[in-house]
A and B are shown apart, each in its own frame.
Chain A
Amino acid sequence: MKLKINGRTHEVDAEPDMPLLWVLRDLLGLKGTKFGCGKALCGACTVHFNGSATRSCQLPVSAAAEGEVVTIEGLSADGNHPVQVAWRARNVPQCGYCQSGQIMAASALLARNANPGDDEIDAAMSGNICRCGTYPRIRAALRDAARATSEARAGEGEA
C-alpha cells in the first residue's frame, strides 16, 4: 500500500486496520508522532491529514492511503513554522512529549483561522492533553503565532 507522507510516497506492508500511528512509528521510523492513549483522547498522535488535525491512532492505514499526511517532521523544512518559532520563543515545552501533537493541532488551527479568539483556541486545543501543564504558554505562543501569521499574510497581500 502507498502512503503520501511529508511530500514523499512510501510503500508499506501493513494490515489494513493498523492505525497510521503505528505505521509511522514502527514501520517507517517516524518517531516524532507520539502514542498517548490509543483512543483519540489525548492528541499526542496528532498529524495533518489532508490539512486537518487528525488523531493518527484512530486513522486506519487503509484510510490514510487516500490522502496526504504531514507529521511534525514535515511541518516545515527548517523547523521554523511560525508555531514552532512561537513555541520556542515562549519556552513552551517541559517534558516535550505532547508538543508534537500540540504544534500540529495549533498549526492546523491557524491554517484555517489565522486569528482565532480565546474560545476558538480552547475549542481547537482542548483535545490535546499536556500533563506538565504548559497550557498557559501554549495559549500565549498560539496567540504570538497567530499574530505572526496574520502579519505575514498582510505582507503578502500588500506585495
Chain B
Amino acid sequence: MSTLSKLSRRRFLELTGVSATGLLLGAAVSPASRAMDVLATATGERLNLFVSLRADGAVEIVAHRSEMGTGIRTSLPQVVADEMEADWSRVRVIQALGDAAYGSQNTDGSRSVRNFYATMRQMGAAARRMLEQAAADTWRAPLAECRARNHEVHHADGRRLGFGELAARAAALPLPGLDDLPLKGREDFRYIGRNVPIVDLHDMTTGNTTYGIDVALPDMVYASIERTPHLGGRIAAYDAAAARKVAGVLDVVELQGPEGPPAFNNVEGLAVIASNTWSAIKGREALAVQWRPSPHSDHDSAAYLDALQARVSGGPGRVARERGDVERALGDADQVLEASYRTPYLAHAPMEPPATLARVDGGRCEVWACTQNPQATQAAVASALGVDKAAVTVHVTLLGGGFGRKSKPDFSVEAARLAAHVGRPVQLTWTREDDVRHDYYHACSAMYFRGALDGDGRATAWLARQATPAIGATFDPAVTRLEDGWLSQTFGSVPFATPNLRIESHEAPAHVRIGWLRSVYNIPFAFGVCSFVDELAHAAGRDPAQYWQEMIGDDRHLDFAPEGFEFSNYGRAIAEYPYDTGRMKAVLRQLVANIPWGETLPEGQGWGLAVTRSFLSYVAVASKVRVDGDTLVVEELHGVIDAGTVVNPDRVHAQLEGGMVFGLSLALNGEITFADGAARQSNFHDYPVARLNQVPRVIRTHIVDSEALPAGVGEPGVPPTAPSIANAVFAATGQRIRELPLARHFDV
C-alpha cells in the first residue's frame, strides 16, 4: 500500500464537501428528471462529495465530468469503487450538477483521468476507511483488525458487516486524516485496468438515454434561431408577421448579440418560438431576415489562406524557439528542402447538435444541457440574465458527441434568455445548418518549413513558421498571433535533435469565432511537421521509420527553457510529465513491429507513418493506402498509444479507434470555407464526415503497458492520422500532399 500525500488537506476538505462553501447537492428533484437516469440524484448517506451509501447497500458515486463518448461516467467511478472495495454491480453513477465544489468539470483537453485519477482514489479510500472505522466501532475492535473487501467489512475473527449496514454509522464519522489514508497497490486492483462496460451501455442500445435534445418539461415551448451569417452582423429587417402565420408559431424574439468579442455570448439572431420543433423551423424560414454588414462580412477564406501563406514564406516572424544558427546551417547544407503546407477551417459537427432546455422562474434559472463545461454554462447564463451564479442550476445530460464544441455555452445562453423572455421553459435545438454555420471553428493554418541536410542525409537545420488564427481572439480581438502556449502543440515542441532549429509565429487576425476541436492545434501542426519529416527522409534516401528515430535522437527528457520556449506541457509540470523521447521512439518501434513495414507492395499502394506527443501521451499511427487513378482508399489504420496508467483499456482502445477515424475524416473530407463572411457549408452533403464505406476494414490499436502517470486519451489519436495517410499517399504515388483535405486531390 502506498500512502496519500499529493493532495493538500485544504483541497481534500473541499472535495469531501466539508469546506465552508461545500454545497449539499441533490436536494431538488425536478418533475422532468425522475425517470431519467443521467439526471437522477443521490439518495444515500453521504460519505464525501463523491460517495453516498444507502442502507440497502447501493453505492452512489458522483461522475462530475461530462459523458460525450469517452466512457468517463464509468472510468472515474470505477476508480472510486476499486479503492472503496465496492462491488461494481451495486454502484449507481450519479451525474453531478455544475458546481465549483467538485473542482474543474471542464471536460476538455483529455484531462479527466490524468487530473482526477489520484483524487478519485482518495475519495474511494476515504470512504473505505470510514466503513472500516464504523465496523471497528460496532465491534469495539481495533481498526487494524477490520478490512473492507467486496462490499463488506471483515473482522480478523470472521465477523462481517455489509456496507449498507454500516452506512449511517460511517456517514456520522469525521473524515479521515490524510496521513493514515492508505491506497491499494496495483496488484490489489479489482477494476482499475479492467474492461468495465460503460454504465450507459444498455440504455444506449435501447433508446432509453437522455441527451440535451431529449429533456422535456410539461409546459415547455420550442425554439429555433436564425443567426447572423457573418461575425458581428446585426439584424436590419425581417418579416415577423410571415413567421407568425405558420401553424404552431407562438412568438418571434430578437436576441441581440454582444457589443464586444464573441466569447461565450449568443450571436445576434431572431428566435421563433413554437409549440413544436418543426413549426419553429418552418417559422424561421418565413422570417426573410436581412443583416447589416460588419468588419468581418467580407471574409474570404481562400484569399485569407493565400495571404497567410505569403506571410510565412515571405520572411521571419516572431521567434518562439531557437537553437544554434539555422541560417548558417542552411547555407552550409548539401541539400536544402522547403515546403509550404496548409489546412482548412473545420467544424465540430457532433451528432447531437447543440441543445438546451432552460426554465427561468422567480429570479432562478434551471438549465439542462449537453455541456462539456457546466460551470462555464452556469457563469455565462448568470451573466446573461444578470443574476448570481448561485441562482443558476445546471443539469448535465449525456452529450451526443462534443469534441470541444459543447464546452462553449453560447447555446445555453440563448435558451436561458428566451426562457426569461417567454416566461415558459424553452427547449432550443440547433439544426445541423445552425451547427455548421455558427461553430467556433477549428483554425485554418498556413505553414512553411525549411530543412538542411548534410552529405550523409542527416538533418542539420529545422526552420518552421506558421500563421494561424488564435483561439484567444474569440475572447480578445487584440490577440492576433499564436504564442508559446498554443505553439506547444507539436509545432514549437518538436523533439528533433537537429543542432540548429528555429520556430516562428506570424500574425493571423481572426474573422470567425475560433474554438478548440479535438486535439486542437496539433491537427494542422502534426500534418505539417510529420509530413516534412517524411519529405526529409525521402530526400535523404532513407527509410522514414528509421529517419524518425534519428531525427528524435537520444533517449532524453527535453528541456525547452534554454531555447527560449515556454512549453505549456498541457498544464502539467515538466518534472511530473517529462517530454520523454524514449517513450516516443518506443511507440514508433512498436508500431513498425505491428505492421509489415518495408514490405514490397504493388504499384499504387503504400504505407505511411507519423508520431506525436499530445496531451502527455505518445501516439504513432500507420496508414496503408491504395491509389487507383483518381481514387484514394485507406485500407488499414494502425495505432499505438502510450498513455501511462490506463483505467479502462477497452475505452482507451475505443478512443484510439475513434480518434484515428476522426483524423481520417478530417484528412479525407474536412473543409469549411467562407465567402462574404459566411460559412459556405451547411450540412453533411457539403461538409462530409467519415462514413462506414470510407473507414478501413483493418483498424488495429495497441496500448503500451505502463505504470507511468495517466495521460490523455480522448484526443491523442487524432494528430498523427492525417500525416500518416498523406505520407502513405507519397509512398504509393510519389505525390506529396501539402494541402488538406485529400478530397481536393482525389476521389475519396
Partners in one complex: yes
Residues of A bordering B, CB below 8 Å: 15, 18-19, 22, 25-27, 29-39, 41-42, 44, 71-73, 75, 79, 84, 87-88, 91-100, 103, 118, 121-123, 125-139
Nearest residue (CB) in A for B274 is A26
Cβ B658 vs Cβ A132 within 8 A: yes
B201 cross-chain contacts in A, Cβ below 8 A: 88, 91, 93
16 pairs from A and B in contact (CB 8 Å cutoff): A15-B247, A36-B353, A39-B684, A41-B683, A72-B206, A84-B205, A88-B202, A91-B654, A93-B205, A94-B654, A95-B398, A97-B350, A97-B352, A126-B693, A133-B690, A137-B654
* Interface presence of B69 (CB below 8 A): yes
- Min distance, Cβ B470 to any Cβ of chain A, angstroms: 26
In the complex, are the beta carbons of A137 and B657 less than 8 A apart? yes
Q: Name the residue of chain A whose CB is nearest to the CB of B685.
A: A41
The reply to whether A96 and B204 contact each other, CB–CB distance below 8 Å, is yes
Chain A residues closer than 8 Å to B281, beta-carbon distance: 38
B278 engages A22 (CB within 8 Å): yes
Cross-chain contact A94 with B432 (CB below 8 angstroms): no
Interface size grouping (class) on chain B: 35 or more
Q: How far is the CA of A100 from the CA of B398 in the complex (A)?
A: 14
Chain A residues with CB under 8 Å of B654's CB are: 91, 94, 134, 137
- Tell me, rounded to whole Å, the shortest Cβ–Cβ distance linking B537 to chain A: 29
Picked from B197, B248, B399, B661, the residue with its CB within 8 Å of the CB of A95 is B399
Q: Once the chains bind, are A91 and B198 in contact (CB under 8 Å)? A: yes
Residue pair A99, B204 in contact (C-beta under 8 Å):
yes
**C-alpha gap A129/B206 in the complex (Å):** 18
User: Which of the 9-residue segments B142-150, B211-219, B601-609, B725-733 touches chain A?
Assistant: B211-219
Assuming the A-B contacts A39-B432, A91-B201, A134-B654, are A31 and B276 also in contact, with contact meaning beta carbons closer than 8 angstroms in the complex? no
User: How distant is the Cα of A49 from the Cα of B201 in the complex, in angstroms?
Assistant: 26
How many angstroms from the CA of A71 to the CA of B657 in the assembled complex?
29
CB B349 to nearest CB in A, in angstroms, measures: 6
Given A41-B684, A132-B658, A133-B662, the answer on whether A94 and B276 have CB atoms closer than 8 Å is: no
B222 at interface by CB-CB < 8 Å: yes
Q: Using CB atoms, name the residue of chain A closest to B206.
A: A79
Q: Which residue of A lies closest to B695 (CB)?
A: A135
B210 at the interface (CB under 8 A from A): yes
CA distance A43 to B608 in the complex (A): 33
Q: How far is the CB of A125 from chain B (nearest CB, A)?
A: 5
B202→A131 contact, CB < 8 A: no
Q: A132 with B69: in contact, given A22-B278, A137-B657, A139-B697 (CB under 8 Å)? A: yes
| Cβ contact within 8 Å between B200 and A31 | no
B354 nearest CB across to chain A (Å): 12
* Interface flags, B656-668, vs A, CB<8A=1, else 0: 0111111001000
Known: A15-B247, A22-B277. A100 touches B697 (CB 8 A): no
Q: Which of A75, A94, A100 contacts B69 (CB 8 A)?
A: A94
Q: Identify which of B198, B210, B278 contacts A18 (C-beta below 8 A).
A: B278
A contact residues around B699 at 8 Å (CB): 136
Interchain CB contact under 8 A, B692 and A94: no
Across the interface, which residues of B come within 8 angstroms of A129, CB to CB? Answer: 351, 684, 689-691
A147 to B248, CA, bound (A): 48
Does B208 interact with chain A (Cβ within 8 Å)? yes
Task: Specify which chain B residues have a CB less than 8 angstroms from the CB of A31 in the assembled complex.
Answer: 207, 210, 213-214, 216
Interface-centre pick from B207, B658, B662, B665 (highest chain A CB count, 10 A): B207
- Contacts A95-B399, A126-B693 known; A42 to B208 CB distance under 8 Å? no
Q: Which residues of B have CB within 8 Å of A131?
A: 349-351, 401, 403, 662, 689
A132 to chain B, nearest CB (A): 5
Q: Which residue of A lies closest to B698 (CB)?
A: A136
Task: Please state if B351 and A44 are interface contacts (CB–CB under 8 Å).
Answer: yes
Tell which of A33, A34, A38, A88 touches B352, judged by Cβ atoms closer than 8 Å.
Answer: A34
The reply to whether A118 and B399 form a contact with Cβ atoms under 8 Å apart is no
* Docked complex Cα distance between A96 and B433 (Å): 22
Bound complex: CA of A120 vs CA of B202, how far in Å? 27
Chain A proximity mask over B40-69: 1 for CB below 8 Å, otherwise 0: 000000000000000000000000000111
Most chain B beta-carbon contacts within 10 A, residue among A32, A126, A135: A135
Cα-based distance from A29 to B697 in the complex (angstroms): 38
Chain A residues closer than 8 Å to B214, beta-carbon distance: 25, 31
Q: Counting CB contacts under 8 A, is B71 at the interface?
A: yes
Indicate whether A71 sits within 8 Å of B658 (C-beta atoms), given known contacts A26-B276, A126-B693: no
